A = this chain, B = another copy of it.
Amino acid sequence: MKKGHQVTMKEIAKKLGVSVSTISRALKDSPELHPETKRKIVEMAKEMNYQPNLLAQSLRISRTKTLGVIVPEITSHFFASCISGIQDFANTRGYNIMICQSNESIDLEMANIKTLVSSQVDALLISLSRETNHYEHLLDLYNREIPFLLFDRVNEDIPVSKVTFNDVGGAYEVTKHLLENGCKKVMYVSGPEDLYISKKRKEGYMQALEDFGVEFDPKMVKISNLTTEGNIKIGQEIAEMKERPDGVFCMIDPVALDILAYWKEKGIRVPQDMALAGFTNNPSSAVVEPSLTTVAQPGYEMGKLAVTHLLDQLDGIASDDPISIVLDTTLLPRKSTEK
């Protein structure tokens, strides 16, 4: 062995014919490995005069075993499910989590980051606020080498790992479902156009129309501001159209639920007069009558994958190179689209 050469975990791994992550776990005395395996690895490391990276070591020692989580809103069932997934799998690995809510405000998002960093969390999991349109606070975190990851509401330009849903695919599935169930004129009720999910779900809607040879009609897209009043206004506009759609796909369940309540009041029958579908699978969607066809986004699964990847990075099991994890959604056909 060359003098002055610093032995790496990779070299030990090669020598023993095991993976680098096994070496890493053995040197951290992980309970997941067989004691005999650990003993062999530790002996080999000694024999090869392995010197752990002291900087990384000192960082590891000063860990608080706490992760910070920032979500736009805790009252959302979806984000609450993400938090549960994050918490369960953080706890399994001996970490606790502290959660902050940005209330969809970029100022509060910045304040939350400051609060959590002052509390010396080891890393952060962040889902961006609706308002976040500049990213200095995130690039600052990155430059200060504070590990973090983005989930659900992400920005493509931040060089960290991201966990998102296949929004295009989900919207494609629900539009396809409406078309296959006999709808000829499917409308898309979108949220504000600059929202990431507004765009992605429209993309899926358009793709399905194209694949089914349906010409796109701009009158078949409406935009709600996502307030209850805004949603009801759209429901009213649709009711008053001369040529109504026969199927309506709403970007998120609350829009569909508000429209459904308004139509029921006005005697418009779902699905007989118009089929209706949402996206996100809010708890109310299953109990409303008719039950609402929607797309399930497994929030718990997203939280689990996000925290597991982040902790793998912290523990040196996963590479620090950012990756993109894309989760599939599931169409849940219910009575609101049965024609």
Which positions in A face B, CB cutoff 8 Å? 64, 66, 68, 74-75, 77, 80-81, 83-84, 87-88, 91, 96-101, 103, 108, 111-112, 115-116, 118-120, 257, 261, 283-284, 287-289
A272 to B261, CA, bound (A): 23
A119 to B88, CA, bound (A): 21
Using CB atoms, name the residue of chain B closest to A75. Answer: B80
A80 to B75, CA, bound (A): 5
Nearest 3 CB-CB pairs, A to B? A119-B119, A75-B80, A99-B99
Q: Are B287 and A257 in contact (CB under 8 A)?
A: yes
Distance from A72 Cβ to chain B, minimum over Cβ atoms (Å): 12
Using CB atoms, name the residue of chain B closest to A97. Answer: B100
Which of B75, B83, B98, B287 has a CB less than 8 Å from the CB of A119?
B98
A153 to B311, CA, bound (A): 33
Q: Are B74 and A99 in contact (CB under 8 A)?
A: yes
Central interface residue in A96, A97, A100, by most chain B CB within 10 Å:
A96
Using CB atoms, name the residue of chain B closest to A74. Answer: B80
Main SS of the interface on chain A?
Answer: helix
Given A83-B101, A98-B98, A111-B96, A118:B64 Cβ within 8 A:
yes
Distance from A260 Cβ to chain B, minimum over Cβ atoms (Å): 9
Distance from A109 Cβ to chain B, minimum over Cβ atoms (Å): 11
What are 24 inter-chain pairs, A to B, with CB distance below 8 A? A64-B118, A66-B118, A66-B119, A68-B98, A75-B77, A75-B80, A75-B83, A75-B84, A84-B103, A87-B101, A87-B103, A96-B111, A96-B115, A97-B101, A98-B98, A98-B115, A99-B99, A99-B100, A99-B101, A118-B119, A119-B119, A284-B284, A287-B287, A288-B288
A289 to B101, CA, bound (A): 33
Given A64-B118, A97-B100, A99-B99, A84:B74 Cβ within 8 A:
yes
Distance from A80 Cβ to chain B, minimum over Cβ atoms (Å): 4
Residues of B within 8 A of A119 (CB): 66, 98, 118-120
Central interface residue in A83, A87, A98, A118, by most chain B CB within 10 Å:
A98
Residues of B within 8 A of A261 (CB): 287
Residues of B within 8 A of A99 (CB): 74, 98-101
A118 to B120, CA, bound (A): 9
A80-B80, A98-B115, A99-B99 known; 12 new pairs, CB 8 Å cut-off, are: A64-B115, A68-B98, A75-B84, A77-B77, A84-B101, A87-B101, A87-B103, A88-B103, A96-B108, A98-B98, A99-B100, A289-B289
